[in-house]
Structure 1
Amino acid sequence: MKTGLNLIIALFMVVQLHAQQKTVSGVITDQNGLPLPSATVLQMGTANGTTSDFDGNYSISVKVNDVLVFSYLGYKTEQVVVTDANTINVILQENSSLDEVVITVLGISRSTDEVKKSVTTIKSEEIIQASNPNVVNSLAGKVSGLKIKTKNHGVNQTTRIVLRGNRSLTGTNEALIVIDGKISSAEKLVNLAPKKIISTHVVKGAEGSALYGSQGANGVIIVTTVDGSKENAKISKFVQTNKELQHKFLNESYTKIHENKFKIAATTPLSTFSIDVDKAGYSNVRRMINNGQLIPANAVKIEEMVNYFDYNYPQPTDEHPFSINTEVVKTPWHKDTKLVKIGLQGKIYDNENLPAANLTFLIDVSGSMGNQNKLPLLKEAFKLLVNQLRPQDNVAIVVYAGAAGVVLKPTSGKHKTKIIEALDQLNSGGSTAGGQGIELAYKLAQENFNKKGNNRVILATDGDFNVGASSNDAMEKLIVKKRESGVFLSVLGFGYGNYKDDKLEILADKGNGNHAYIDTMQEARRIFETEFGGTLFTIAKDVKIQVEFNPNHVQAYRLIGYENRLLADEDFVNDTIDAGELGAGHTVTALYEVLPVGIESEYAKDIIDLKYTQNETVTNQYNDELFTVKFRYKKPDEDKSIEMIHVQKNETTEATEDMNFASAVALFGMQLRESQFYNNTNVQDVIALANKGRGEDRSGYRAEFVRLISTFK
């Protein structure tokens, strides 16, 4: 009797244990190990589900013996039974038996005076009258250039829809399906009853991105049913013709870049420049590629593209706030030159050990910020930052449109709800008095200055200032004066069309700050969560680099990028000259292409014989050295610089994964700029080099780069 009772109790405990909720998490990837973002995870037979994030990570609350269903458009669905394990990693296989519906607007013959639109609208009558009950098949003959290829038939067949425009997106990029304002699937679209459909809109290219951000970059099929929302109103507001969009893009402005040339080491051995931790250049170019937009050469800032990615540099082990790392390899795109990498690694601090923050959000709420990828995205992005704040941190909010005003006085980070409510109340409208906003934000930051903390204004805008002090020169004079207050600056760019990158770059460079471009919530998460310390906390200011090349071994050299960060050689020791700031945990990478002595090349022009200066180099005790690099920096609260020196021997090694990847990004930037130095390489060369440098890639950003350039031709 007692044994039976114990058995019943044991069985009851097992049942109870298995009935308890638990959190299961993992990573969803494809067969190549690439993360699958927005993959669907559902508990079978229930509405309990989630989607994977940008890096393929997911988390869901379930019980033991529940069945999880993993699905992703274009891949075979997987089912996994939940066990006692808390981690379930899933690899999805591509579905080779997909139907593919290709919708293209290529090859349409129209008169030159006819406006070419990238939106095709199919009314419900046209769909109902089609003989085929399949909604997608009914689009045949209604959308110009529609082709349907059927490989198999039957119940529950999987459909993939690819929308190709006049850019080079590959056929593996699926169009976004939106039904009644909600993101849906091709399968649901196929199974919709034609009588329930009011209208179908087919949108391609940049118009898709204007409606749905990066998710719509491959085109959007928008369906409104009799039960649907007012999605058509959204379409009529945002969808533009190609002609109109290109005109809008022409209103973007960028600082002119004059590409660095090779310099002769015998006559010009010194190369001096300021560090640059800005990363806006890469995310901005990424946005353009995803939108199918032509990329202006001046938008391609190679140093910002290279520095967008993290590299495996060691932490500093001495009293200095950053470590110095160098590497010399054979140049992957030129057999006669060498490639030099100089890398800095800022010290990493735990968030709880960072000093208290006195932050002032300066938010542009003018009429130009009304688009979905501007103020609405901005508000959601800033909520990520608010959730990172500690009780000792304080936040104030200043807004500006036709005038500037305070909408939230300094508030402790423990009152997150109050701060978020203030953000939610923001709406756009009016002109843009950016200068007034800067004046008020700095005034508020100085009134609440924390002598032992981090004082920073965070400006969020598209940069389209048009009231009061608004020119680039006026902005530079204003911000140079304000940086004397000891308040640092972060500049966050949003949107496209009238985006003023040149103005925002000036504000960041001259205002002791950094500059980032936020095109998606994933990018916002990177800036405000992953790189929280580096974005907000400066560990070294006015950081300068000076490289002296040894003419015994170096015939000529060229700094790749940093054209707008060059300094006069004498400015290196001048502590009154402003330079870049390094944030906690930030990395900085600079690349030089070097032509060794003894190589005949067009890169090394003949040197004119000089009467008073000898061109011949002198062999001395430094003959085993390739170059010496010096660094100067100031502590955030001091005005006297500290010097560091690092010597690189004349040795060439096999390229590390970091070197391979950094050089791949630089090479792609040179190709985008149509540089005279990319040596007739192509995108496939970049992909091969980037794959060699993928490494562990925990964040997945290197894999994203490979996917991005694979869509570009």
Structure 2
Amino acid sequence: MNNDPAQALQGRTAGLTIKPANGQPGANSAIAIRGINTLNPNQEPLYVIDGVPMDSASARSLNSSEIKSITVLKDASATAIYGSRAANGVIIMNTKDGKGLSAKERRKMRREQRKASKEASASQKDFEKAQEEQRRADEAEERERQNAFEAEQKRRMTEKIKVDREEYESFEENKFENPATAPLSTFSIDVDNASYTNIRRFINNGETVPKDAVRVEEMINFFKYSYPQPTGKNPFSINTEYSDCPWNPQHRLLKIGLQGKDIPQAELPASNFVFLIDVSGSMDAQNKLPLLKESMKILVKQMRAKDRIAIVVYAGAAGMVLPSTSGSDKPAIIAALDKLSAGGSTAGGAGIELAYKTAQEHFIKGGNNRVILATDGDFNVGASSDKDMQTLIEEKRKSGVFLTCLGYGMGNYKDSKLETLSDKGNGNYAYIDNMDEADRFLDKEFRGSMYAIAKDVKIQIEFNPNHVQAYRLIGYENRKLRNEDFTNDAIDAGELGSGHTVTALYEIIPPGVKDDFTTATDLKYSTVQPTGTKYSSELATVKFRYKKPDGDTSTEMVQIIPDTAQPLMNATGDFKFAAAVAWFGLKLRDSNLVPNKDIEAIKKLAKEGRLSDPEGYRAEFIRLAGRIE
């Protein structure tokens, strides 16, 4: 029989591990209680023999044959009863007759019992005190959590109020047209992409995207597509692709793309820039004037000695901060930007007057003359209405000075005003929500953003009713022109920059497909021609008109689009990605003309069209789409 009680415990009680402390005979065994991972390895568990706490020596003096039962306690169940002495666990041993110890040991046991009782009493008080402290801490934490929740609710409500103060032009989505009665579709190109970056801001902030903030054509044209460079004398190439419509497979989608001629920076004409900067009180936010100043420095660093920059500011009044200065004097230009601070009202009209006057005084014939307006669009003094601004800017564009609008901030952002200015002022428009976007627009796409190679670019497409039952233009609602405006050189249209791409999509319902989107009309005189006639293989004819940047007379280009559609699976990556972006925009607008708004299908199509994505913009789009249900 093994009389060593420690060895006798091995294998008899769950939770105990017993091994000799060393390999020598008679050496004390090491006893450990498994599951107590924060214990001091140099401390042994507490032994309780017949109800009396004892040390390990007393436990080892027991004859193992006298042990009736063994129980192990650990963690809170041990310390709650036996106090801090039980921090390493408790082994409770009961002998068969309760007399497993000598009289001396039993007297010692009783002393230990009294001591343990006192400790237990003290431990209980400590326990109750700890409970009270924990209760108070929990109450304080709950109050802090509630205060944080209320503060967040208040912040969200404030942001909602601010968003409600933002202004967007309301418009109705383009409807399907019957080519038998409306064969022509005419519009101005649009290279703006402010809508996409503004939408990105809403999604990244976890906010609902306002329907009227979504301009699908600007979303499509945020991304660049692989169109070939022009080879002839014209400043851009024309490219078309025809395939299935992903949100309605019975329909088809026509993509029309322009590629502007890419002019090397060394060959670009001299620039005469006037920065028109809003320093009113509404610009006093981190994502407004501070971001504006840092982003403008990106543009300054690209200036050459032959380029010139002037800085005009406006708040309660307009003023000249920096006279026209050579691009070689970058320290002076940057120092002038650094000194700007926000305060006062917004005399936008006076600022525009002074900026154009400055640009005209330093006008470079054959050069790149441009006002760069940077603001949150909050013109609330002087010429404040969109109509007043439109009249003013239409007059100023006659000077030959182009306009670029850069929007900043959120809350009281006036998208409608900036869009009006850029549309009517031979201009373009971008929304700068962070320095990455500033770097994209003012550095990576500097030539396309700041150097026009063609102006007043118009598109007119004539559809053949033999192959088109109905059609609609996706986006460009505020860029549509009357058909007679196409040949009228007095009518303003969009500009095309160096290396720029412009993409437009038409959704087409082929003949014979059930049409739930238009109302059929019986016509006495139909333009539909018999099969086999001269134009029966043509889907459409597309015409373009443009002027040189300093010209007044337009040039026309014509291209035939054959009725040759390919399955969507065989379409190019650019076609798939542009279609996915348009699909996402139509979903955000909750279009009644899109029966399928499945976000997973949109993401799948975008992934198929991702292809080469060195800057990660297409990957970013896929992530944004994934945040919308």
- Residue matched to 1:671: 587
Task: Give ranges in structure 2 of 5+ residues lacking alignment.
Answer: 1-132
**Where do residues 334-353 of structure 1 align in structure 2 (5 Å cutoff)?**
334-353=248-267
- Residue matched to 1:627: 540
Query: Could you say if the C-alpha distance between residues 240 and 581 of structure 1 is closer, same or farther in structure 2, counting changes exceeding 3 Å?
Result: farther
Q: Give yes or no for contact 1:543–1:580 (8 Å, CA) kept in 2.
A: yes
Q: 2-side partners of 1:696 and 1:142: how far apart? A: 52
- Residue matched to 1:572: 486
**Secondary structure at the counterpart of residue 263 of structure 1:** coil
Question: Aligned match of 2:578 in 625, 644, 662?
Answer: 662
Question: Aligned match of 1:381 in 295, 313, 321?
Answer: 295
- Residue matched to 1:160: none
Question: Aligned match of 1:419 in 333, 337, 343?
Answer: 333
- Residue matched to 2:613: 697
- Residue matched to 2:4: none
1:401 Cα shift?
0.1
**Secondary structure at the counterpart of residue 358 of structure 1:** strand
- Residue matched to 1:252: 166
Higher strand share: 1
Query: Could you say if the C-alpha distance between residues 241 and 452 of structure 1 is closer, same or farther in structure 2, counting changes exceeding 3 Å?
Result: same
Q: Deviations over 1:526-559 (max 9, x none)?
A: 0111001011100000000001111111110010
Q: 2-side partners of 1:130 and 1:560: how far apart? A: 62
Q: Deviations over 1:61-107 (max 9, x none)?
A: xxxxxxxxxxxxxxxxxxxxxxxxxxxxxxxxxxxxxxxxxxxxxxx
Q: 2-side partners of 1:394 and 1:203: how far apart? A: 52
State yes or no: 1:708 paired with 2:624.
yes
Q: Give yes or no for contact 2:248–2:596 (8 Å, CA) kept in 1.
A: no
Q: Give yes or no for contact 2:307–2:326 (8 Å, CA) kept in 1.
A: yes
Question: Aligned match of 2:597 in 657, 660, 681?
Answer: 681
1:681 Cα shift?
2.2
Q: 2-side partners of 1:202 and 1:144: how far apart? A: 6
Q: 2-side partners of 1:680 and 1:702: how far apart? A: 22
1:608 Cα shift?
3.4
Larger Rg: 2
Query: Could you say if the C-alpha distance between residues 292 and 622 of structure 1 is closer, same or farther in structure 2, counting changes exceeding 3 Å?
Result: same
- Residue matched to 2:211: 297
Q: 1-side partners of 2:555 and 2:144: how far apart? A: 66
Q: 2-side partners of 1:305 and 1:143: how far apart? A: 42
Q: 2-side partners of 1:412 and 1:525: how far apart? A: 22
Query: Could you say if the C-alpha distance between residues 130 and 662 of structure 1 is closer, same or farther in structure 2, counting changes exceeding 3 Å?
Result: farther
Q: Give yes or no for contact 1:276–1:304 (8 Å, CA) kept in 2.
A: yes
Q: 2-side partners of 1:640 and 1:299: how far apart? A: 35
Q: 2-side partners of 1:420 and 1:203: how far apart? A: 43
1:604 Cα shift?
3.7
Q: CA RMSD in A?
A: 2.1
Query: Could you say if the C-alpha distance between residues 660 and 140 of structure 1 is closer, same or farther in structure 2, counting changes exceeding 3 Å?
Result: farther
- Residue matched to 1:81: none
1:293 Cα shift?
1.6
**Secondary structure at the counterpart of residue 581 of structure 1:** strand
1:603 Cα shift?
2.4
Q: 2-side partners of 1:140 and 1:557: how far apart? A: 61
**Where do residues 314-329 of structure 1 align in structure 2 (5 Å cutoff)?**
314-329=228-243
Query: Could you say if the C-alpha distance between residues 391 and 616 of structure 1 is closer, same or farther in structure 2, counting changes exceeding 3 Å?
Result: closer
Q: 2-side partners of 1:603 and 1:414: how far apart? A: 59
- Residue matched to 1:587: 501
Q: 2-side partners of 1:524 and 1:652: how far apart? A: 39
**Secondary structure at the counterpart of residue 207 of structure 2:** coil
**Where do residues 226-237 of structure 1 align in structure 2 (5 Å cutoff)?**
none
Q: Give yes or no for contact 2:366–2:550 (8 Å, CA) kept in 1.
A: no
Q: 2-side partners of 1:625 and 1:468: how far apart? A: 53
Q: Give yes or no for contact 2:465–2:527 (8 Å, CA) kept in 1.
A: no
Query: Could you say if the C-alpha distance between residues 203 and 271 of structure 1 is closer, same or farther in structure 2, counting changes exceeding 3 Å?
Result: farther
State yes or no: 1:495 paired with 2:409.
yes
TM-score between the two structures when normalised by the length of structure 1: 0.67
Query: Could you say if the C-alpha distance between residues 570 and 396 of structure 1 is closer, same or farther in structure 2, counting changes exceeding 3 Å?
Result: same
Q: Give yes or no for contact 2:529–2:536 (8 Å, CA) kept in 1.
A: no
Q: 2-side partners of 1:203 and 1:502: how far apart? A: 33
Query: Could you say if the C-alpha distance between residues 461 and 240 of structure 1 is closer, same or farther in structure 2, counting changes exceeding 3 Å?
Result: farther
- Residue matched to 1:652: 565
Q: Give yes or no for contact 2:180–2:526 (8 Å, CA) kept in 1.
A: no
Amino acid at match of 1:406: M
1:616 Cα shift?
4.3
State yes or no: 1:614 paired with 2:523.
no
**Where do residues 485-524 of structure 1 align in structure 2 (5 Å cutoff)?**
485-524=399-438
- Residue matched to 1:184: none
- Residue matched to 1:409: 323
Q: Give yes or no for contact 1:609–1:615 (8 Å, CA) kept in 2.
A: no
**Where do residues 145-294 of structure 1 align in structure 2 (5 Å cutoff)?**
241-294=155-208
1:648 Cα shift?
1.1
1:356 Cα shift?
0.5
**Where do residues 532-571 of structure 1 align in structure 2 (5 Å cutoff)?**
532-571=446-485
1:267 Cα shift?
1.2
Q: Give yes or no for contact 1:547–1:630 (8 Å, CA) kept in 2.
A: yes
**Which piece of structure 1 moves more, 648-657 or 698-707?**
648-657
Q: Give yes or no for contact 1:555–1:604 (8 Å, CA) kept in 2.
A: no
Amino acid at match of 2:602: V
Q: 1-side partners of 2:134 and 2:382: how far apart? A: 59
Task: Give ranges in structure 1 of 5+ residues lacking alignment.
Answer: 1-128, 146-199, 208-238
**Which piece of structure 1 moves more, 653-662 or 355-364?**
653-662
Q: 1-side partners of 2:535 and 2:523: how far apart? A: 25
Identity %: 57
Q: 2-side partners of 1:707 and 1:472: how far apart? A: 35
Matched residue pairs, number? 493
**Secondary structure at the counterpart of residue 542 of structure 1:** strand
1:617 Cα shift?
3.6
Bigger relative contact order, structure 1 or 2, given CA contacts below 8 A and separation 6+? Answer: 2
